[in-house]
A and B are shown apart, each in its own frame.
Chain A
């Protein structure tokens, strides 16, 4: 959202300034704002690290380069290989599962926490600080804590045994079905506070008076939520879901720490496969093809989300 506001600002203001044709010597700004070459290091680094590298990577995706010696342009072969490999298709599926699973769960829990502590609680600031705390920690370190919890003789199975649910005890991280859920829980635990903070910022914009007026007009808690709160926090929903999808599609650290992609590739994602193909196996061309697939997925969702939210905004204004 901030991007939109600022981009429209630069779109509208400078051209209008340019349209007033003035003799260059007279309309010069009062003083010189820095020197033009101050922008140079940033421009060079951004072009090099972002644009040149990304375009080169996009080119590598269509080659069979291994980092040494000769390479050939092999067209779409890499992509044919990706989409015919059940292991890699599984990785695509896992990537989407973790992204959507984490977005849905963090948004539900984050919004619930935000609504619960937003009004009246005396200790809301302490609660906010505590719930946000996991966000600042290294995902790798957090994953090790959860690895212990999910161990076969770890606290989770211990707890299940304690409340008489022995039949649910399992080797969580070595179970082909459940290991991906263990990763999801680890991610959700760490990211919920981040989403909550975004919603708290959004909720701060809901005036108490409007809620009171709605309540006097007979709106219940549910009605107030849907008709007053949700429209007001729509921008927050857009930000939280967009950032969540982008982060979720790139989950890497937690997988390497918790399962290493196992058991038998059941928890591989595109990010872990890129690392393994390109950097463990030296398949730079093939790894780049996987990276291109991930990039297209990320861009597709980011753009889709922008359109969905923009339409809603326009409809709301009309």
Chain B
């Protein structure tokens, strides 16, 4: 009954037209960023640039000082990578113990983690900021990494725990019988089998940390360590209608994430559809 008919072809064309219309902002973004200062102000937004002008990108990438875009990219990379590493390490071992051992305290811990997922983070922000400030963890990457590990650990533990529950215990039993210690059995045998879980955790956490503006604004506020969104916010705040430069920053901030997305779009979409249900 469901065959590809003329009507389906019409539907396909209509969906494409709507999708391309929806993606029009991307086109505007790219053409405007390639215009010269003068052209960006005077020509129509949809008109292509008369000649490719990369001066906006050059200017953005050579900024110096507190809101230097290249430095903020480096900070964002360090914070995101550190947070992902911590979330994978602490999340996987905790979830393994919680999922594999059936004691009263593991059940209790699991609920502790589940409730933390639902608990909205806003109310804790002020006390966390004050606590972090009093021990010198604001304004630097280490504090930010610890904060993110704490914020996102419930998600990581939850995802890993559901994956571990679906994995037979035979793998680590075989490893232990062959003479591996529990630590070796976990890191050499079980964790490598958990690559899909690790991928989901890394993608979800990586996106949240990389794109975050609110927490970076508060916990890194006023310091020389800035993440890309905060540097972008400050940088754009100093530009009045220099849209070619604003869009150059915007594009630079989008490129890393879009590159990952194009490379692993299936994982991204599955991670979002499945992982965030939690």
Q: Residues of A at under 8 Å CB distance from B?
A: 1-3, 6-7, 9-10, 13-14, 17-18, 29-36, 38-39, 41-43, 45-54, 56-58, 60-61, 67, 113, 116-117, 119-123, 127-133, 135-141, 144-146, 148-149, 151, 154-155, 158, 189, 192, 194, 197-198, 200-201, 208, 211-212, 215-216, 239, 243, 246, 250, 252-253, 256-257, 271, 274-275, 278-279, 284, 287-288, 291-292, 294-295, 298-299, 302
Contact = CB atoms under 8 A, between A and B. Distances in A.
Given A135-B272, A198-B273, A41 B90 contact: yes
A211 B1 CA distance: 10
Q: For this complex, into which size category does the number of interface residues on chain B fall? A: 35 or more
B22 interface: yes
Interface in B93-112: 93-94, 96-98, 100-104, 106-107, 109-112
19 contacts: A7-B111, A35-B182, A35-B183, A45-B146, A53-B125, A116-B11, A116-B15, A120-B4, A123-B12, A133-B261, A149-B28, A151-B241, A155-B28, A201-B274, A212-B1, A253-B214, A257-B236, A274-B122, A299-B120
Contact of A3 (B114, B119, B269): B114
User: Which of A41, A53, A292 has most B Cβ within 10 Å?
Assistant: A53
Interface stretch (B51-59, B63-71, B192-200, B245-253): B245-253
Given A57-B125, A145-B29, A50 B119 contact: yes
B25 A39 contact: no
A136 B127 CA distance: 30
A239 B118 CA distance: 13
Contacts of A215: 1
Nearest to A49: B150
B74 interface: no
Interface string B208-233: 00110110011001000000110011
Contacts of A252: 213-214
Contacts of A60: 126-127
A49 B46 contact: no
A130 B22 CA distance: 10
Contacts of B213: 138-140, 252-253, 256
Given A49-B147, A50-B154, A141-B250, A31 B122 contact: no
A67 B111 CA distance: 33
Of all A-B residue pairs in the complex, the 8 with the closest CB atoms, nearest first, are A49-B150, A53-B124, A42-B94, A33-B100, A56-B127, A57-B123, A38-B93, A138-B211
B28 A145 contact: yes
Interface of B: 1-4, 8, 11-12, 14-16, 19, 22-23, 25-26, 28-29, 32, 44-46, 90-91, 93-94, 96-98, 100-104, 106-107, 109-114, 116-131, 146-147, 149-151, 153-154, 157-158, 161-162, 165, 169, 172-173, 176-177, 182-183, 185-186, 207, 210-211, 213-214, 217-218, 221, 228-229, 232-233, 236, 241, 243, 246-247, 250, 253-254, 257-258, 260-261, 265, 268-269, 272-274, 276-278
Nearest to A194: B272
A141 B254 contact: yes
Contacts of B272: 132, 135, 194, 197-198
A141 B109 contact: no
